[in-house]
Amino acid sequence: MAGVVAAGRDFVDTPVVSGMPTVGSGGSFTQIRMANARVGWVFGDGILQTTDGGLTWHTYAHAGAGVVDMAVANGQVAIVSTAGACDGQTCAGDLQVQIAPVDATAATTPAATVAGSGFVGASLAWWKGQLFVSPVPADGTGGVVTASADGKTTPVDVGCAAHSRAQIVAPSSGDTLLAVCEDGAAAGSAYFSVRRSGDGGATWSAADGSPLRLANAGVTAFAATDGDHIVAVSGGSPDVHGTLTTTADGGATWSTPTDPALPDTGWGWVGAPGPNWFYLVPFDGTKGFYWSHDKGATWAWTGMS
């Protein structure tokens, strides 16, 4: 992003990882997804599937090699992997995207290809039956696409500025689809802007208000319960720590709650599993999470033994 100028700020070539699941190195599995009490997957350097609630696991065949994200909705699982292996930092080759039935024991459907020379990661978002893929290319090129079960992709222009990466954020309720544009980084801060669509991603408009500013700690994540209530987090660095900030007006204004307290290395992930709920996970791997049942207004801690 060298040379990008926006809103009076000169941005330098400082990497920002937007909503990216951690890529795994050889033999590792970094994340889990459950479709129901019986069927689920762990993934990273490949995929293992359980069909008995985790009692046993088997290799789950799929296109590509290293798996960077999976998402489940409406009886379907989406998988995004790379053609080459992952080394814990980047994954080589193009992205491969598949959509398969949840009850299948392997992904045998056609794979859609997102071309590139390597990726830092990618995220998937289901929205009203449509799958959006938000790549994070290693070379800074590329953009959001939709992918279908027949192996086709369609570019999606959310209206970000030139050189700005985009990530789709699918709220857990309502009819407004969101996107976050990565507008640059400087002096330890990363800047973002929110885009909104009321027609499933066909057209987009900018949210009014000031840009979203997060500490550029290395990893960012975004979640929304609806078109107005969004939580943005960053984390991964003991030096700049991270940020937790919320909006209740669709990104027009942002505020930082005093509780919960900011962990030393900030936040690793935020999700919105329901119309009023957020879950918030510290970056440092502490066994527990914060939750909010009032759209991010207040938070409570749940520890895990």
Query: What pLDDT does 90 receive?
Result: 81
Q: Do 112 and 163 fall within a single domain?
A: no
Which residues, including other chains, have CB under 8 Å from residue 167's CB and lie 6 or more apart?
18, 19, 123, 134, 144, 179, 180, 182, 222
Q: Is residue 24 very low, low, confident or very high in pLDDT (cuts 50, 70, 90)?
A: low
In a domain, 50, yes or no: yes
Q: The sheet that has 130-137: what strands, in order across it?
A: 91-92, 118-127, 130-137, 145-147, 153-155
In a domain, 114, yes or no: yes
Per the DSSP assignment, residues forming a β-bridge with 282 are 267
Query: What pLDDT does 140 receive?
Result: 63
Q: Is residue 137 very low, low, confident or very high in pLDDT (cuts 50, 70, 90)?
A: confident
Integer Cα distance of 185 and 203 in angstroms: 27
Q: Which domain holds residue 172?
A: 157-305
In a domain, 13, yes or no: no
- Report which of residues 11 and 141 the model is more confident about: 141
Which residues, including other chains, have CB under 8 Å from residue 63's CB and lie 6 or more apart?
79, 81, 96, 98, 107, 111
Q: Do 188 and 107 fall within a single domain?
A: no
SS (H, E, C) 110-140: CCEEECCCEEEEEEEEEECCEEEEEEEECCC
Q: Do 203 and 285 fall within a single domain?
A: yes
Is residue 9's pLDDT more than 80? no
Q: Do 238 and 277 fall within a single domain?
A: yes
- Report which of residues 13 and 256 the model is more confident about: 256
In a domain, 12, yes or no: no
Closest among 73, 84, 154 to 114, alpha carbons compared: 154
Over the stretch 116-134, which tens digit does the pLDDT of each residue have?
888 888 999 999 999 999 9
Query: What pLDDT does 26 receive?
Result: 56
Q: Do 201 and 107 fall within a single domain?
A: no
Do 96 and 130 contact (CB within 8 A), yes or no?
Answer: no
Over the stretch 164-193, which tens digit does the pLDDT of each residue have?
889 999 999 999 999 999 988 888 999 999
Q: Do 203 and 280 fall within a single domain?
A: yes
Q: Do 198 and 264 fall within a single domain?
A: yes
In a domain, 99, yes or no: yes
User: Given the DSSP bridges, would you call strands 219-224 and 17-18 parallel, antiparallel or unpaired?
Assistant: parallel
In a domain, 8, yes or no: no
Is residue 3's pLDDT more than 60? no
Over the stretch 236-290, which tens digit does the pLDDT of each residue have?
999 999 999 999 999 999 999 999 999 999 999 999 989 999 999 999 978 889 9
Do 139 and 119 contact (CB within 8 A), yes or no?
Answer: no
> How many domains are there within the chain?
2
Q: Do 180 and 292 fall within a single domain?
A: yes
Integer Cα distance of 281 and 115 in angstroms: 32
Query: What pLDDT does 270 receive?
Result: 94
Type of residue numbered 196: R
Query: What pLDDT does 77 receive?
Result: 97
In a domain, 175, yes or no: yes
Integer Cα distance of 48 and 189 in angstroms: 38
Query: What pLDDT does 305 receive?
Result: 62
Q: Do 238 and 191 fall within a single domain?
A: yes
- Span 202-228, mean pLDDT? 94
Q: Do 186 and 98 fall within a single domain?
A: no
Angle formed at CA 172 by CA 165 and CA 294, multiple of 5 degrees: 110
Q: Do 305 and 163 fall within a single domain?
A: yes
Q: Is residue 4 very low, low, confident or very high in pLDDT (cuts 50, 70, 90)?
A: very low
Query: What pLDDT does 14 receive?
Result: 35
In a domain, 205, yes or no: yes
Over the stretch 56-97, which tens digit does the pLDDT of each residue have?
999 999 999 888 899 999 999 999 998 887 776 788 889 999
Q: Do 199 and 212 fall within a single domain?
A: yes
What is the average pLDDT value for the chain, to the nearest integer? 87
